[in-house]
Structure 1
Amino acid sequence: GKASFVFFSRIVPKKNLISAIKYFDTIDGEVNFDIYGPIEDDIYWKECQDAISKLPPNITVKHKGIIDHDHVFEVLSQYDAFLFPTWSENFGHVISEALFSECPVIISDQTPWRGLEEAGAGWDIELDNSSKFIQAINHVVHIDDNEQLKMRSHSKKYANSKFNLENLKNEYIKALNTL
C-alpha cells in the first residue's frame, strides 16, 4: 500500500505532532507525511526531528512551511488523510477545512468532531489508544481507490451535515423559544 498524510497546525506540544510522527514507526507500505505550520516551539520541533530521524526508510516526512490561506483547500485535497492527534481543540477549524477538502481525518477525541467512523469520514480516537491510531493509518495505506473515493465523499458530506444552515436555524429558533 501507499498513502500520503498531512498535519497542518502550529508546531507546539498541544497539537501533539510528536505522537503523529511516532505512529508511523510500525507502518508498512510507502508513506509520505507532510507537515505544514509555523514552528513556534524550537525545542519541541527538535524533539519531532529526532523522532523523524528514527523512522524506517519507507516513511518520508517533510516540513513544508506554511500554507497560504487561499490555497488551504487545494493543498489538503491532495492528501489521503489528515492526521491530528491534538490534546484539545475548542472547534478545530483545520479539521473542518480538511473535511470540506474531501480529506478524511484521523484525529483525537478531544475535539467537537465526533462520530467520524460511523459517517465513513475518518476516525476520532482516544489519545491513549495509539494502536487505534496505527490501525487507522494502516487502513488508509491499504485501502483501494474505490474505498478512498468513498471516504473522500463521506468527509465532505459529514462536514456539510455539521454546517447545514437549515439545521442551525431550527436549533437557534428552538433555543430562542425556550427563553
Structure 2
Amino acid sequence: MKQDWVVDIYGNGETTYIEQLKSIIKTSNLEEQINIKAPVFGAHKLKVFRDASLFVLPTFSENFGIVIAEALASYTPVITTKGTPWEGLQTYNCGQWIDIGVEPLAKSLTNLMTKRPETLMEMGVNGRRLIEKKYSMQAVAKDMLTLYNWILNKTEKPTFIDTL
C-alpha cells in the first residue's frame, strides 16, 4: 500500500527550491515518508538503486537520462515521462513511460506502488534485460558495425536509423 512507502529524493538544486520542498514536507507532516538526500555516487549510488523498489524521473526534456539506464541496470523499475526517449519501458515491461503532468504521474505511481513486490522484481529483471540487449557495450558495438557496413558497403539501412 502507498502508506508503507518512503520517498527518497536524491540530488541537489537551488537552495531556495530545496528549502521550499522541505517546508512543504514539514507542513504536510510527511517528514517520515519523504526524505531529501544529498547526491550519491559510485558503489553507494548502485546500492541506492538496488535497494529501491521504484525509480521516478519526471522531466520535461532529458536527452537520454543516464540515471534511467543506471536504475534499469540495477534491476529497478522506472517511471519517466515522454520528455525522455525511453519508450522501451513499456515494450519491455520494466516501468512506465507516461505523459508529462501531475495526473499521469499520480496514476502511474498509484499503479506501481500497489503492485506486489514480486511483480516489481520481475519488472526490474526485465529492465536489466533491456539494458543488456540495447545498451550494453556488445549491443552498441554490434550496432556500430552495422552502421559502418551500411555507410561503406551500401547494405540495407539499419532499423535503428531514423529517416528525416
What range is the shorter-chain TM-score in?
A: 0.7 to 0.9
Question: Alignment partner for residue 176 of structure 1, among 139, 148, 151?
Answer: 151
Q: Which moved more, 1:101-110 or 1:114-123?
A: 114-123
Question: Alignment partner for residue 33 of structure 2, among 60, 65, 73?
Answer: 60
Judged with a 3 Å threshold, the aligned counterparts in structure 2 of structure 1 residues 124 and 59 are, in CA distance, closer, same or farther, namely farther
Equivalent pair of 2:78/2:96 in contact (CA under 8 Å): yes
State how 1:17-166 maps to structure 2 within 5 Å: 28-38=2-12, 40-55=13-28, 57=30, 60-128=33-101, 130-163=102-135, 164-165=139-140
SS of structure 2 residue aligned to 1:124: strand
Question: What runs of 5+ residues in structure 2 fail to find an aligned partner?
Answer: 155-164
Equivalent residues, number: 151
SS of structure 1 residue aligned to 2:51: coil
Larger Rg belongs to? 2
- Give the aligned residue type for 2:112: V
Judged with a 3 Å threshold, the aligned counterparts in structure 2 of structure 1 residues 117 and 51 are, in CA distance, closer, same or farther, namely farther
Alpha carbon RMSD of aligned pairs, Å?
Answer: 2.4
Q: How far does the alpha carbon of each residue in 1:122-148 deviate from its partner, in whole angstroms, 9 at most, with x for none?
A: 0111113x2221122112221113212
How far apart, in 2, do the equivalents of 1:126 and 1:166 lie?
Answer: 32
Judged with a 3 Å threshold, the aligned counterparts in structure 2 of structure 1 residues 170 and 59 are, in CA distance, closer, same or farther, namely farther
Q: TM-score, normalised by structure 2?
A: 0.79
Question: What runs of 5+ residues in structure 1 fail to find an aligned partner?
Answer: 2-27
Structure with more relative contact order (C-alpha pairs < 8 Å, separation 6 or more): 1
How far apart, in 2, do the equivalents of 1:80 and 1:54 lie?
Answer: 26
Q: TM-score, normalised by structure 1?
A: 0.73
Structure 1 runs (4+) deviating above 3 angstroms are 53-59
- Give the aligned residue type for 1:172: L
